[in-house]
Amino acid sequence: MLELRQVSMTFNPGTVNEKKALTDINLKLEAGDFATIVGSNGAGKSTLFNAIAGSFIPDTGSIVLDGTDITFWPDFRRSKAIGRLFQDPLKGTAPSMTIEENLALAFLRASTHTSPLSRITRADRELFTERLAQLGLGLENRMKQPVGLLSGGQRQALTLLMATLVTPKLLLLDEHTAALDPATADKVLALTRRIVEENHITCLMITHNMHAALELGNRTLMMDNGHIVLDIAGPERSGMTVDDLLDRFAHNAGHHLDNDRILLSRQDGAAG
């Protein structure tokens, strides 16, 4: 479904700021896979997402989505097939526009409504109301309110709905609960799990919560210095603890994780 073949990227080559961000990344996701990604800051996680989303063209390698080579597609063309959420709840929505207007923009961009004269129908509005109600946040009664009036958690839940209103071929979640308080983060993660499972969405999720990394989805990847150093699934993953995961990382990467957010998450409860 998604396949990365020998993808590499170096920023500022030949300068003192040269950074090898991705090195010969090979990754294959089957339809419906939900893989979590962990790793220290600078490991290459967000750069991997940027490569998939089309923020840049990699130096080498290819990116294939659902059998089509999209390596040289611009990001706006990929956005019809790829949904993405960021860590900052302020990204992904237009604060001065209403909830309904934001949903309409997302719906028209991702659906077959390709004409510039396309309009939202009554049936479309009914769909928006129905899907908002499923979030359980009362947003279906605030359709005419500007998104800027929503809390961070409400905006992130709305952005998640916008990214999946028309089921994407791939959903990228870039620490989409990191800026939220723990209780709100748990709610958004629970929504994420339900929406992804119900719609059988192929998903990659970056997280610093090690419990969530092992409990959400069906596969866990760990990155270090531009490489995927761990890729676990099945019985091996289901029987693994956070300490086991950290020990495996130390063995494969040759050093211990020193990221405070990851290490502190060893004490957190499971989310979702």
CATH number of the domain enclosing 254: 3.40.50.300
Same structural domain, 58 and 173: yes
On the 0-12 / 13-18 / 19+ scale of CB atoms within 10 A, 106 is buried
Same structural domain, 32 and 68: yes
How many domains in the chain? 2
Same structural domain, 189 and 271: yes
CB within 8 Å of 193: residues ≥ 6 apart: 216, 272
pLDDT value of residue 121: 87
Same structural domain, 67 and 147: no
pLDDT value of residue 86: 95
Question: Pick the residue with more confidence: 265 or 223?
Answer: 223
pLDDT digits (tens, 9 = 90+) for 186-228: 999 999 999 999 999 999 999 999 999 999 999 999 999 999 9
Same structural domain, 158 and 233: no
On the 0-12 / 13-18 / 19+ scale of CB atoms within 10 A, 201 is buried
- Strand boundaries in the chain, DSSP class E: 2-11, 19-29, 34-38, 60-65, 68-69, 82-85, 170-174, 203-206, 219-224, 227-233
User: How large is the average pLDDT for residues 1-20?
Assistant: 97
pLDDT digits (tens, 9 = 90+) for 87-107: 998 898 999 999 999 999 999
Same structural domain, 180 and 68: yes
- Expressed as residue numbers, the domain containing 153 is 93-167
Buried residues in 229-256 as b, exposed as e (16+ CB within 10 A): bbebeeeebeebebeebbebbeeebeee
Q: Which of helix, strand or coil describes residue 243?
A: helix
- Does residue 86 sit within a domain? no
- Does residue 204 sit within a domain? yes
Distance CA 224, CA 44 (A): 7
User: How large is the average pLDDT for residues 153-174?
Assistant: 96
Same structural domain, 257 and 137: no
- Does residue 59 sit within a domain? yes
Same structural domain, 272 and 205: yes
Among 143, 167, 191, give the residue marking a domain's end: 167
User: How large is the average pLDDT for residues 6-13?
Assistant: 97
- Does residue 22 sit within a domain? yes
Same structural domain, 209 and 143: no
Same structural domain, 175 and 77: yes
pLDDT value of residue 251: 85
Same structural domain, 76 and 104: no
Among 167, 183, 213, give the residue marking a domain's end: 167
User: How large is the average pLDDT for residues 257-272?
Assistant: 55
- Does residue 53 sit within a domain? yes
Among 136, 167, 198, give the residue marking a domain's end: 167
pLDDT value of residue 270: 43
- Does residue 87 sit within a domain? no
- Does residue 88 sit within a domain? no
Same structural domain, 232 and 259: yes
Question: Pick the residue with more confidence: 113 or 154?
Answer: 154
